[in-house]
Structure 1
Amino acid sequence: MKNISLCLLILSLLIISCTSDTIDTADSNADNGTDSKVNSKESEKSARLVENLTPENPANVYDLAGKLHNDLLETYLAGNYQYSTIAQISEQVEAIAAANSDVAHLNLERNLPANVEEIQEIINNPEAKLDEAIANSSMTTAAKSCLSGFMNAALLWENEAYGVIYQSIISYESSVMTNSNFSDEDKRIILTTSSIVRYSLYYDTKPPYDEDWESNVGNRVGGVSGAIDNSYTAISRSLITGIMINNLAAD
């Protein structure tokens, strides 16, 4: 109970810090008729997802990033590959992505090779690379702080029941989506990252691959680093980094 209470306390503080102070309540009330119906339907669907322990959040327009992360990961692990280098893992992830029809929905260039040096630096020192990636991004100062807070809070969610984790993340995502001070680019980076975190943490609880995969800090930092470029890079960099770290831990 103490862990859950701390988790919820940090979540509350995080949401407050990521919520716009300039939302006009009069405008909000004026749109209440339509918005309340939409929000009600989304809340009902989210409640069903929590009950059934699935990771989707239909309200997040970048939800596909997390889904593809898990789909590609599942295919990779099912192949039982024994690759030991970043380049080898990257090549196989790219091959799997090329065969996945949903990847085409991202409408993004996939031909750029993985940044091996960047991934190695994340593996060597994920915390430092996280700070560096966020600091050097094009996000606004407020969005940088919001994303940093989320990534730090995620460390406390790893040992929670997934229902608690899921509710925490979708509440956070809601606060980001309704923040009128965040730019579209801010929201794209944050919501792509949160989607990958939400799905990757779910994968830890999903048999039969739970013994072969454990999400890690490097996996999530790879997602942040890649999201600054685009959604596909977020997915691939998160996967490659996470797989490499899991391989090293198994040796």
Structure 2
Amino acid sequence: MSTPLGDFIRTKRDSVQPESLGLPERGRRRSPGLRRLDLAARAGISVEYLTRIEQGRDRNPSVSIVNALADALSLDPAERVHLRYLAKISGGECTAHPRPAPTSPAREVRPTIRETLRLLEPGIAAVSNRLGYVLAHTPGYASVMGASGLLDADAPNLTRYVFTDPAARTFFVDWDVIADEQAFDLWLAPSAEGSQWITSELGPLAGPDFTKRLNRHVVPARGVLRLDHPSGRRLDFNRETLELACDDQQLVVFLPADEATATSLEQLRRPGTGRLRAIS
């Protein structure tokens, strides 16, 4: 049975073109990307050992092996962090002391974080957990997201909205990018591997496209967020994400990326513009 670590290494190997690493072209082959032979040689390990890692038969590679694979694949810093994280959780599946049963990420927002949101007004900011639940937000966030339908649910969830609401595909100009971001964040949730919510609720609703993205391990670049707002305005935002590590939550602040967006925001904040919701 494969592991997230093996899936990620195999996916990255398939995406690397040999010539980009200065390797000679070895003629046509059935699958794209880097051969196991070449990756193993670059990492200084045997092909048989690399095969065991990719297939999940060896779940505890040493730190030096993980780092060697990262170097061999020329991973960027974010991908290296993800590789080490996957090595940690894949190894945990095979230890003598089983990991604690998965717990649901906290949905309570600390009073000091709510006060931080208040101080950010009239800015656009929200607190969410790794499963995508929008736990609290500023009125400015509602002025942007309210008309999209995201906040209509009793428990708004951005991941569920992206994968199951057709409106999301027009609201997010770069829907594919946002879908990859939301799928990737599920790996970082405390219950990412065995969450009942993922397997029994989101998975059946979202379908195979969600499952494919989840297992592809695309580390998102998180560039400019581009929205096609229902009001007819185009909104572009830079995002700053602050990790609330002790809560397994994130505080995301949205900043206008250009003057046109800043002007449109002023218009959206006017009374009677869009559908507004109070802070969660």
- TM-score over 0.5 (shorter chain): no
Q: Which has the larger radius of gyration?
A: 2
The structure with the greater share of residues assigned to strand is: 2
For normalisation by structure 2, the TM-score amounts to: 0.27
For normalisation by structure 1, the TM-score amounts to: 0.29
